[in-house]
Structure 1
C-alpha cells in the first residue's frame, strides 16, 4: 500500500522521526532486515533497553513502525505505507559508515545465530 495523502501533520511527524541519529539507525536495520525484536536492536546497536524502547515507541507513534506480537516476542517492522518514503531516505544514506557498520554487526550476529541453530539441530539428530 502506498501513502496516498502526505499531510503537513504526518510529514512533520516523519521528519521529526528521522531527525534523531538513533532512530535513523533503528529504521535502517528494519529497512535492510525486515522484522527485528527490541533485544535484536539493543544487541546490534549496543543501546540500553530503555533507550531502544523509547525510540521504538517514538517511531511507532509517528506511524513509521508497526509491531506484531508472537508469544512473548514483539517484532517491529517498517509500515508498508511508508516503505517508499523510507526507500528514498536510505537511497541518500547508502554509503554512511555507521549504518554500514550496524548492518555488518547484524550480519555477523545473524550468522552466529544460524550457526548455533545448526549445531543444536545436529546435536539433537545425533541423540
Structure 2
C-alpha cells in the first residue's frame, strides 16, 4: 500500500521528521541503501548510540521507518507506505553536500568491511606458490 493522500496528522509528522538534520541524514541513508544497521548509522554519521537510537525511535513512532532484528543487530528501513513521499522529497535534496558526504563515508566503510572479510577468508588459505 502506498500513500496517495494523507491526513493532516501524517503530514505534520512527516514535516516534523524532516525538520531535524539528524533525522534527514538517517532517512537519506535508509532511502539510498534500503536497509541499514544502527551501528552502521552511528559510524557513518558520527553519532552516539543514544542519539542514533533516539532519532530512529522517533522515526519508528511516526511510522516512517520499520525495523527487524537479526541476532543482536537491528536493521531499519523506510516503510513501503511512505517510500514514494520520501523519494519525492529527496529528489530536491540529492545534491546536498552533507548528504553526499554521508554516502561517501558509507561507501568507504562498506568497502573496508568487504576488504576485511576478504582478508579474513584468504589469510588462512595456503598459498599456491
Q: When the two structures are aligned, how many residues end up with a matched partner?
A: 127
Please give the residue correspondences for 1:1-127 in structure 2 after superposition, counting only pairs within 5 Å.
1-126=1-126
Provide the alpha-carbon RMSD of the alignment: 1.3
SS in 2 for 1:68: strand
SS in 1 for 2:98: helix
Q: How far did residue 30 of structure 1 move?
A: 0.5
Q: Which has the larger radius of gyration?
A: 2
The alignment's TM-score, normalised by the length of structure 1, stands at 0.95
Choose between structure 1 and 2: higher helix proportion.
1
* Structure 2 unaligned residues grouped into runs of 5+: none
Summarize the Cα distance change of 1:112–1:7 in structure 2 as closer, same or farther, 3 Å threshold: same
Q: Aligned partners of 1:32, 1:50: CA distance in 2, in Å?
A: 23
SS in 2 for 1:126: coil
SS in 1 for 2:95: coil
* Structure 1 unaligned residues grouped into runs of 5+: none
Summarize the Cα distance change of 1:5–1:126 in structure 2 as closer, same or farther, 3 Å threshold: farther
